[in-house]
With several copies, the nearest count.
Chain A
Amino acid sequence: MPHDPAVKIIKKQSWGDYHLFRFETPALAAGAEPGQFLMVRVSDTPFPLLRRPISLHAKEKNSLEIFFQVAGQGTALLAQKKEGETLDILGPFGKRFIPDTNALPTPAVLVGGGRGIAPLYFLAMELNKLGARVKVLYGGKSRTDLPVREKFEKAGLDIVCSTDDGSFGHHGFVTGLLESEIRRQEPAILYVCGPDPMMKKTAEIAAARRIPARISLESMMGCGFGACWGCVKRIRRDEGGEWRKICEDGPVFWADKIIWEEKE
């Protein structure tokens, strides 16, 4: 039963709006895989009503990490939790980032924007273990928006950053970094997580170059485990598309299967 009502926070790190928790939770860590997410109860009162989906950021034998950014009242309450406190968590849920073992010798490029970097650390560590050559592209608004950069570096991972304001690394969007990376050497595969416009742009780049890309989508989730049908997005089938559940059929999809919403 993937439910641990008292997951202990054994380590907390904070950088402004960003927070990292390490949990001691053998029950949930067993079998947890990169790309999956947890459904976290952020309070023991009826406010907020629903759990919040948060990706797995890292895993060790009996422990898991999450890395999140305050986006509203739920994540603000979560950020108030302290080391030693416990959380009620369900999961892990969802389909993992499948490591493309065929492509192993040529580099796998991981593209993360803002909090979207969260699941890519876990994936990078796994790909690394599998012997894949990994390059991480990490974009933020400014220098202070890249809190886990050093963590990748310490783990010996090849990481390049961009900031919208140019205060650190490449000046511009992370998709710009991706374009120059592709010019340098075409990646075998892309793994992507970030804000919608960034993911959409990455999907376009991947499509133009015919680079396979796996994208982790976000969506408003009622349950996280397939019961409410609230989290759907349009996913391509043989012909046409259909509403598929992000929590169960995703959150990771092949980029060319995603039908992006047209919004003003």
Chain B
Amino acid sequence: MTPDLTADLGFLKLRNPVLTASGTFGYGLEFEPFMDLSKIGGIVVKGLYYGPREGNPPPRLVETTGGLINAIGLQGVGVEKFAAEVLPKLRQIDTAVFVNVCGASDDEYLKAIEFLNAQEGIAAYELNISCPNVKKNGLCPALGPDPTYALVKQAKAASRRPVIAKLSPNVTDIVEIAKAAEEAGADGLSLINTLLAMAVDIETRRPKLANIFGGLSGPAIKPIALRMTYQVASAVRVPVIGMGGIMTGADAIEYLIVGARAVQVGTANFIDPAAAARIAGEMKDFCEHKGIARIADLVGTLKTD
């Protein structure tokens, strides 16, 4: 018996619980040579501002033990070019497309949403309120419940589509922020974005990133991300999408067990461009092996007695 892999986000049913994380999967098409994109639950495209963006000067990447620090700074084509050149191609592909929406101000988020509202072929918006690479010291709306509430509220009012708020791990109490987003009407929450980090070249005594700070991702952060996913999933009613360091089906299943309805695969895509499809396959194998009929039955089953 083949297990039922569908993941129910409430506003949307996914073929399976594996999405690709924003900024680690380009606009999706880059991965077509490696993978059948209809084998995964969906793709979250690289963060888009309303207009095109230059991004940060290089070096933009540093590898660390089990991790990757990036300070790309959201280089991108902007929503217009995306709608004209990328979306038509994505519409040919049988997978759910999430657009990760960015803004330097609340208004810019809304402008991007309004423009995208008029385009077809988008399943939902993922509001990137948590990018640490844009403002100084990693500042972003997701660091406080008030800016989170205000922005999500406006985004919901402007949007004709479901809105997922993507949370930052660089906070004292992520549950407080999650609840603010939920109260403001978010249809779902995704977490975590990267952890603010740095590295130093001891020869030159310079930061290894031109931007000084960047965001840490990869297996190094999985234990922190899993803890936060558990805390948030235990405290809100909207669906939670977990991510951070997922490299294998087993990693993804840990996220489901602590309460995530779906997961996103990020850094793993760089090492294995077929990672998301492989992970979905490994999750299926796990279910078959254990006789789990519906993968959704794993969600939130952590035993803590």
Contact = CB atoms under 8 A, between A and B. Distances in A.
Chain A directly contacts chain B within the complex, with at least one CB pair under 8 Å: yes
Instruction: Pick the most buried of A49, A219, A226: most chain B CB atoms within 10 A of its CB.
Output: A49
Chain B, interface SS category? loop
Interface in B53-79: 54-55, 57-63, 65-68, 70, 72, 75
Given A49-B63, A243-B75, A232 B24 contact: no
A49 B69 CA distance: 12
Interface in B257-282: 267, 269-271, 273-274
A228 B33 contact: no
Nearest to A2: B33
A46 B65 contact: yes
Contacts of B75: 229, 232, 243
Contacts of A50: 63, 68, 270-271
B164 interface: no
Interface string A2-23: 1100000000000000000000
A223 B269 contact: yes
Interface string A217-238: 0011111011111111110000
A182 B4 CA distance: 52
A46 B61 contact: no
B61 A220 contact: yes
A231 B303 CA distance: 23
Interface residues of B, number: 36
A231 B62 CA distance: 11
Interface in A27-73: 41, 46-51
Given A49-B63, A220-B59, A220-B61, A227 B54 contact: no
| Interface size class of chain A, counting residues whose CB lies under 8 Å from the partner chain | 20 to 34
Contact of B60 (A48, A226, A230, A234): A230
Nearest to A224: B270
Nearest to A73: B63
B66 A232 contact: no
A1 B66 CA distance: 27
Contacts of A222: 61, 68, 70, 270
A90 interface: yes
Interface in B128-146: none
B274 A3 contact: yes
B65 A227 contact: no
A100 interface: no
Nearest to A230: B61
Contacts of A234: 57
A90 B273 contact: yes
A41 to B, nearest CB: 7
B261 to A, nearest CB: 26
A196 interface: no
A49 B68 contact: yes
A3 B54 contact: no
A41 B268 CA distance: 13
B218 A220 contact: no
Interface string B21-52: 00111100011011000000000001000000
A87 to B, nearest CB: 14
B127 interface: no
Contacts of A48: 63
A230 B55 contact: no
Contacts of B273: 3, 90, 223, 225, 227
A1 B34 contact: yes
B26 A226 contact: yes
A51 B271 contact: yes
A188 B216 CA distance: 47
Interface of B: 23-26, 30-31, 33-34, 46, 54-55, 57-63, 65-68, 70, 72, 75, 204, 218-219, 247, 267, 269-271, 273-274, 303
11 contacts: A48-B63, A49-B66, A50-B271, A227-B26, A227-B270, A229-B23, A230-B58, A231-B58, A232-B75, A233-B58, A264-B204
Given A227-B30, A228-B70, 6 more contacts: A2-B34, A47-B65, A50-B270, A225-B33, A227-B25, A232-B75
